[in-house]
Amino acid sequence: MTGKELYQWLQEKHPQLISRVIFTSGSVVTGDTQSFQEQTGRPSLPKPFTAAELIAIVNSTLKQVKSNLWNTT
């Protein structure tokens, strides 16, 4: 399953998890892949990445998730 397929599956089966998705790829990102990632609005972390970069993107995503939870209640 590709990342795109996983994302689409999550949209259908578990849409509440979409805000927690972070894309990562070690391959060259094609125009189609880049376009898809931009359409989703989800963050992307290219490989190779450092532990600090991973921690930063996870923390940023968690802040967004928490913010969205507070704004919907």
* pLDDT tens per residue, range 16-31: 999 999 999 877 667 8
Radius of gyration of the chain, Cα coordinates, nearest whole angstrom: 13
Residue 73 clears pLDDT 70, i.e. is over it = no
Residue 12 clears pLDDT 70, i.e. is over it = yes
CA distance 56 to 58: 6
Each domain of the chain, given as residue ranges in start order, spans: 3-71
Tokens of residue 21, six digits: 């998705």
At position 48, the amino acid (one-letter code) is P
* pLDDT tens per residue, range 37-59: 889 999 999 889 999 999 999 99
Of residues 63 and 26, more confidence is placed in 63
